[in-house]
Structure 1
Amino acid sequence: MTELLPSTQRVLLARVARAQRDGRVPSLVAGVVRDGGLAWHAGRGALPGGAAADDVQYRIGSISKTVCAVTVLRLRDEGLLDLDDPLEDHVPGTPLGARTLGQLLSHLAGAGSESPGQWWERTPGGTLDELGLSDADRVLPAARRFHYSNLGFGLLGEVVARIRGRAWADVARDEVLLPLGMTRTSPRPQAPAASGLAVHPWADLVLDEPEHDAGVMAAAGQLWCTAADLARLGALLLGDTGGVLSPATVEEMTLPAGVDPSSPVWSGYGLGVQVQRLVRDGHTTTLVGHGGSMPGFLAGLWVDREEGTGALAMGNTTSGMDGGLPAALLADVRAAEPRVVEPWTPAPSPVDPQLLGPWFWGPSPYALRAVGGGLLHLGGLGRPGRASRFRVRPDGTWVGLDGYFAGETLRISADHLWLATFVFTRTPYDPAAPVPGGVAGTGWDVP
């Protein structure tokens, strides 16, 4: 693992120290993820006596949702469920039965933000039947708008538990945490662990927060984790999957739902992960990860997949810690030690090079290019336009990976491209190609 430069470490330590002091966080651990693990970390405040900063457990709250999503997607990849399945297929009898698993994963199911009854984050939980769900827990129509739902992830954990025939936490341990080497991540605290505290708003006093088993809501925010283990989860989001998921599935997790990613600044949600595009000091970057909060604890894990770097922060306070600390640490690392990209080298074209270059959608110029990884890119030539990357299918057609044509089929012939219902030709409205609506026999002329 490449160690950060001493000058970079000093900048990071100064930022973490200010965050702990200014936020009045009893203890705070932060770190940088690079090359598959924790490349740098620091602890500030009253850590448990004698404990190493990277081995102290904190509750990570909703970062547990990312682990839950991994367990669901493993079942999908095994063919045991589909993201279009209604919840009713796997957990019958709930008022959200018509909502799909994919909608639950991306907070588009219209499920209530919390479970019914007492505040689940401060009181022990029970079974799904004991929750007593009703129509009141269906607060919005499906797929109408993003609405963050802890209840939705409790239900997803129940899906996993019923398919596997054992508790969600056990499935997460055996199928995700242990295979990734996250041996210090658990549903209940294991020493050394920080105590959950609330800090008085007007005095430098603290109050103990309760700790409990959340029952069926565990998948929404139950886990405790160390900095070293949380860094390993960050490495998974950066592509080091350890065989737990395929790289393609991890990339699928990071695609935001219901957001136009061509906008310069936005925030969205993928499958169990938050996605945000930020502009800082003139630099635009997309971060993937999750924040987390439980009474007594705040946490954050964010990765920059383009830079191959992540950052995390965990503190034992109910409120006050700067939620933007991981993003700020990433900006510090990027400024001090920008990633040196791999050199360009020649590579075979995935199609006949004569098929590359200018194409026209009507009179609008586009260019078809070969890009890394055996992909094609179709985008506007010299002006804005719809753009997408494409990967070849076994039958020789190409499927859109992103942008306007994500999921659409591209077929390539010598004289035209057929994409959705659009036909791209070598010259504007080429009469020799099957242009929808035909081409006027008079050709191009002055009116």
Structure 2
Amino acid sequence: MTGSATCSGGTDLHTEIHGDATLGSLLQNGLGRRQPLVAAATVSPGELSVACLGAPLEADFEIGSVSKGITGLLYADASARNALVPDSTLGDVLPLGDCPAAGVPLAAVSSHTSGLPRLPKSARPFRRSAAFLLHGTNPYGDALEELLAQARTVQLSARRPRYSNFGFELLGHAVAAGAGMSYHSLVRERLAVPLGLTSIYMPATVEQLGPHAIIGKSRSGRPRQPWTGEALAPAGGIRASIGDMGRLVQALLDGSAPGLAALDPVANFAGPAVRIGAAWMTLRVKGRDITWHNGATGGFRAWAGLDRQAGTGVVLLSATAVTVDRLGFRLLRELTERAQ
């Protein structure tokens, strides 16, 4: 890890860089004051650099749907260890009875081709979305038993590519149930402890936020309620520091992470241009295959991308609800060009 000094362009916290000064300056120039609290990690062969603008390096962020990428790794890892058989269904490992969702294969859930909705009607997504838009409240927060009750009443659509938060909530808890543990324990035992990732956690309530948790804000700068919830964790409820996210990407590139098959595309997702593995997307950009996932919660945005052939990767975490995707792709391209 390069650069441990703190440098500042003034007394304004928004100009304060922690970690690598060069990377921090790139954040300042690339995002400006639209995103005053943002962090980045870059990985190239033999090197990991991290920087945080406006907060210390240990600050933990909501990583949003990048959580699905972690769930994809755990699903692929369980499959590789034969903890799940190839045709395992949700009903094989979760107490769903004989409802339609019980027969959905885990493999289909992992590639968003399960027929499950983005969110179930029984969760009243429109009412929750309205409350979020009006008051910034957490639209999730369900317990696992509530998630299972929703699954028992849900109706399936045709099995075509359809992004489903609900599906990945079920997938993560299904993989954990197949291992005889909670999703929290699964992440800890199969990913966090082996890779030395000490900051990754999944708060079920606001009271479970850690001492380094930061609060995200809307585009206009209004604080947003943290997105916590037991059910949510596998799809969007994980929090982590930028250092641990950088180390995770480093492990994906050097082969030490579990479930690497999740990165391998198995089907088209948005036409032939975007292909999908277990959550992870692969997109051809300027002649190179980029494997990536992004994330968005009420007050956070996240992006993680890898050029597996070049051995390079980038993570961006922002505590403001403004996309970081374009900068992520650009930083990864520039990093790859320098590494070659």
Q: TM-score range by the shorter chain?
A: 0.7 to 0.9
CA distance in structure 1 between the aligned counterparts of 2:177 and 2:21, rounded to whole angstroms: 49
**Is 2:68–2:234's contact at 8 Å kept on the other side of the alignment?**
yes
Are residue 30 (structure 1) and residue 36 (structure 2) matched? Answer: no
For structure 2, the 5+ residue unaligned runs are: 4-19, 129-137, 204-208
Q: Which amino acid aligns with 1:124?
A: G
* 1:41-63 deviation per Cα after TM superposition (whole angstroms, max 9, x unaligned): 3322x32xxx2x3x221010111
Are residue 57 (structure 1) and residue 53 (structure 2) matched? Answer: no
For structure 1, the 5+ residue unaligned runs are: 4-8, 201-205, 340-447
Aligned length: 305
CA distance in structure 1 between the aligned counterparts of 2:22 and 2:173, rounded to whole angstroms: 44
Q: In the TM superposition, what is the alpha-carbon distance from 1:297 to its structure 2 partner? A: 0.6
Aligned pairs for 1:410-429 (under 5 A) are none
TM-score normalized by the length of structure 2? 0.80
Q: Secondary structure at the match of 2:295?
A: strand
Match of 1:43 in 2: 52
Are residue 79 (structure 1) and residue 82 (structure 2) matched? Answer: yes
Are residue 16 (structure 1) and residue 33 (structure 2) matched? Answer: no
Are residue 107 (structure 1) and residue 112 (structure 2) matched? Answer: yes
**Is 1:122–1:210's contact at 8 Å kept on the other side of the alignment?**
no
Q: Secondary structure at the match of 1:75?
A: helix
Q: In the TM superposition, what is the alpha-carbon distance from 1:30 to its structure 2 partner? A: 1.2
Match of 2:187 in 1: 172
**Is 2:115–2:156's contact at 8 Å kept on the other side of the alignment?**
yes
Q: In the TM superposition, what is the alpha-carbon distance from 1:187 to its structure 2 partner? A: 1.1
Q: In the TM superposition, what is the alpha-carbon distance from 1:138 to its structure 2 partner? A: 3.8
Match of 2:123 in 1: 117
Q: In the TM superposition, what is the alpha-carbon distance from 1:312 to its structure 2 partner? A: 0.9
Cα root mean square deviation, aligned: 2.8
Q: Which amino acid aligns with 1:218?
A: A
Match of 1:338 in 2: 339
Q: In the TM superposition, what is the alpha-carbon distance from 1:212 to its structure 2 partner? A: 4.9
Q: Which amino acid aligns with 2:42?
A: V
Structure number with bigger Rg: 1
CA distance in structure 1 between the aligned counterparts of 2:293 and 2:268, rounded to whole angstroms: 17
CA distance in structure 2 between the aligned counterparts of 1:236 and 1:118, rounded to whole angstroms: 39
Q: Secondary structure at the match of 2:222?
A: strand
Q: In the TM superposition, what is the alpha-carbon distance from 1:193 to its structure 2 partner? A: 2.6
**Is 2:50–2:246's contact at 8 Å kept on the other side of the alignment?**
no
CA distance in structure 2 between the aligned counterparts of 1:135 and 1:170, rounded to whole angstroms: 25
CA distance in structure 2 between the aligned counterparts of 1:275 and 1:329, rounded to whole angstroms: 17
**Is 2:44–2:311's contact at 8 Å kept on the other side of the alignment?**
yes
Q: In the TM superposition, what is the alpha-carbon distance from 1:10 to its structure 2 partner? A: 8.1
Are residue 286 (structure 1) and residue 289 (structure 2) matched? Answer: yes
Q: In the TM superposition, what is the alpha-carbon distance from 1:139 to its structure 2 partner? A: 4.5
Q: Which amino acid aligns with 2:339?
A: P
Q: In the TM superposition, what is the alpha-carbon distance from 1:131 to its structure 2 partner? A: 5.5
Are residue 222 (structure 1) and residue 232 (structure 2) matched? Answer: no
Structure 2 counterpart of 1:199, from 198, 202, 219: 219
CA distance in structure 2 between the aligned counterparts of 1:136 and 1:277, rounded to whole angstroms: 39
C-alpha change, 1:317 and 1:327, in structure 2 (3 Å) is same
Q: In the TM superposition, what is the alpha-carbon distance from 1:28 to its structure 2 partner? A: 0.8
CA distance in structure 2 between the aligned counterparts of 1:15 and 1:220, rounded to whole angstroms: 30
Q: In the TM superposition, what is the alpha-carbon distance from 1:20 to its structure 2 partner? A: 2.5
C-alpha change, 1:76 and 1:186, in structure 2 (3 Å) is same
Q: Secondary structure at the match of 2:189?
A: helix
Q: Which amino acid aligns with 1:117?
A: A
Aligned pairs for 1:130-141 (under 5 A) are 132-133=149-150, 137-141=154-158
Are residue 273 (structure 1) and residue 280 (structure 2) matched? Answer: yes
Q: Which amino acid aligns with 1:21?
A: G
Q: Secondary structure at the match of 2:161?
A: coil
Identity %: 23
| Larger helix share, 1 or 2 | 2
TM-score normalized by the length of structure 1? 0.62
**Is 1:36–1:235's contact at 8 Å kept on the other side of the alignment?**
no
Are residue 185 (structure 1) and residue 221 (structure 2) matched? Answer: no
Q: Which amino acid aligns with 2:38?
A: L
Are residue 232 (structure 1) and residue 241 (structure 2) matched? Answer: no
Match of 1:405 in 2: none
Match of 2:177 in 1: 162
